[in-house]
Amino acid sequence: MKTWKKVTSIAFTAVLAVGLAACSSSEKGSESKVEGASASDYPKNNITIVAPSGAGGGWDLTARSIAKTMNDTKLIEKPIVVENKPGGGGAVYMAEFATKEAKNDYVLMVKSPPILINNDKAEGNSPYGYKDTTPLAQLTRDYGAIVVKSDSSFETLQDVLDAIKADPTAVTLAGGSAPGSMDHLVGILPAFEAGIDPKAVKYVSYDGGGEAVAALLGGNADVIATDASTIATYAKSGDVRVLAVSSSERLEGELADVPTYKESGINAEFTIWRGIFGPKEMSEGAKNYWSDKLAEMVETDEWKAELEKNGWASEYRNSADFTTYLEEQDKVILELLTALGMQK
C-alpha cells in the first residue's frame, strides 16, 4: 500500500512536469533564432509585427490590418501575431528592435514619422533611426488632427490658439506620443505658426492614441492632437469634435466637414506616412519575400477594405522608393524641428 501511494504521487507530479515542460518547449521554442534564411524556407515560424505603442493607435491598427490581410488572403500562411510594445513614443521598442532583434527575420515593426523625429530631436533623443532598420514598404498616408470633447467651449482651432495665447498654463494639450514626437508636433505646429512659444504649450503624453482619447473623454485634457483616421470613429459617435486636420486639402468621409490648418489661417501641414520595417540585418531572402508579398497585398480587395474601414489613404512605395522618401522626409523633419528650436 505504501509503495503504491508513493508511485501515484510520483506519477502525478511527473505528469504535471512533463505536461508543463512539453508545453513550454513546443510551438514557440525555435521562433527567433533563425538567421540568414534563404528565400525558399522563409518563413519557417510564426511572424510577429510589433506596434511600438499601446493598443488602439495608428501603429497598432496598421499592424493589425497587415496581419489580418496577409493571413486572410493566405498570402502568408504562417500566423502573424501583433504585439504592442509601448513607451517613449516608440523609442523604447526602437532601441530593442535596433539591437536585440537586429538579425531576427521574424520580427517586423510598423512605424511612421517618429522614427525620424525621435532620432532628430534634442530632448529624449533616440540614438536609433531609420538607418538602423530595413525599410520594406510605405503603405498608407494619414494626417494629424486637433480634437476637443464634444461639449468643449472651443469651437475652432483659433479659439484654442487664443486661449493658449491668453494663458498657456490654462490649456492642457495631450497626445499619444512622447514630448517632441509626432502628436506633440501636430499639436504645437499651429501654435508655433500663430506666434506662440512652442515650449510654453502644456503637453501631457500618454501611451498611445487610445489613452489620449480616454484622457480627453474623462476631462483630464482640454485638447488632444492625434491622427485623423483614429479619431474618425469617435467623431462619428459624437463623443468628440475635430477642430482641424493637418492635410493640404479637405479629407473625404467622416471628417469632410473639418477645415484644414490652412483654412483655419495656419500656414502649415503635416503628413503622417506609415510603413513597415524589417530588422537592420534582415536576410536577403526574407527581405525579398516581404517586398513581393507586400506589393501583392496592396492590390488585394481585402487590403482596400481595411484602408476604407480605417479611413487611410493608400500610398504604396516599395523598399527602394521608401528609403529615398525617408531620406527626403528626414531633411523636412530636421528643418521643422530647427524652426521650432528642438533639433538635435
Contacts of 60 (CB under 8 A, 6+ apart): 51, 53, 54, 82, 84, 208
Kindly tell me which of 143 and 206 has the beta carbon lying closer to other proteins.
206
Please give the Cα distance from 86 to 64 (Å, whole number).
15
**Which of the ranges 118-126, 140-148, 292-300, 302-310 carries the binding residues for other proteins, by CB under 8 A?**
118-126
**Which of the ranges 26-34, 270-278, 320-328, 330-338 carries the binding residues for other proteins, by CB under 8 A?**
26-34
Please give the Cα distance from 174 to 224 (Å, whole number).
5
> By CB under 8 A, what part of segment 189-218 binds other proteins?
202-207, 210, 214-215, 217-218
Q: Which of 169, 182, 41, 47 is nearest to 104 (CA)?
A: 47
x/- mask, other proteins, residues 144-173, rule CB under 8 A, reads -------------------------x--x-
Q: Which of 99, 150, 248, 314 binds other proteins (CB under 8 A)?
A: 99
Kindly tell me which of 2 and 301 has the beta carbon lying closer to other proteins.
2
Q: Is the peptide bond before 43 cis (omega within 30 degrees of 0)?
A: yes
CB of residue 196 to other proteins, shortest distance in Å = 16
CB of residue 212 to other proteins, shortest distance in Å = 11
x/- mask, other proteins, residues 56-95, rule CB under 8 A, reads x----------------------x-xxxxxxxxx-xxx-x
Say how many residues touch other proteins, by CB under 8 A: 69
In the structure, how many helices (H) and strands (E) does the chain have?
Answer: 11, 10
Instruction: Determine, following the binding rule CB under 8 A, whether residue 310 of this chain makes contact with other proteins.
Output: no
> By CB under 8 A, what part of segment 122-141 binds other proteins?
123-126
Q: Which of 343, 307, 279, 318 is nearest to 138 (CA)?
A: 318
Q: Which of 17, 39, 122, 332 binds other proteins (CB under 8 A)?
A: 17
Kindly tell me which of 56 and 190 has the beta carbon lying closer to other proteins.
56
Question: In what helix (H) or strand (E) does residue 327 lie, and over which residues does it extend?
Answer: helix 319-340
Largest CA distance in the chain: 91
The 10 Å Cβ neighbour count of residue 256 is 8
CB of residue 56 to other proteins, shortest distance in Å = 7
Please give the Cα distance from 13 to 15 (Å, whole number).
5
Instruction: Determine, following the binding rule CB under 8 A, whether residue 344 of this chain makes contact with other proteins.
Output: no
Q: Which residue has the cell 503637453?
A: 203
Burial 188-203 (b: 16+ CB within 10 A, else e): bbbbbbbebebeebeb
The x, y and z cell numbers of residue 9, run together, are 504521487
Instruction: Determine, following the binding rule CB under 8 A, whether residue 24 of this chain makes contact with other proteins.
Output: yes
Residues that bind other proteins in the complex, under the rule CB under 8 A: 5-6, 8-10, 12-14, 16-17, 20-21, 23-29, 31-33, 46, 54-56, 79, 81-89, 91-93, 95-96, 98-100, 118, 123-126, 169, 172, 178-181, 202-207, 210, 214-215, 217-221
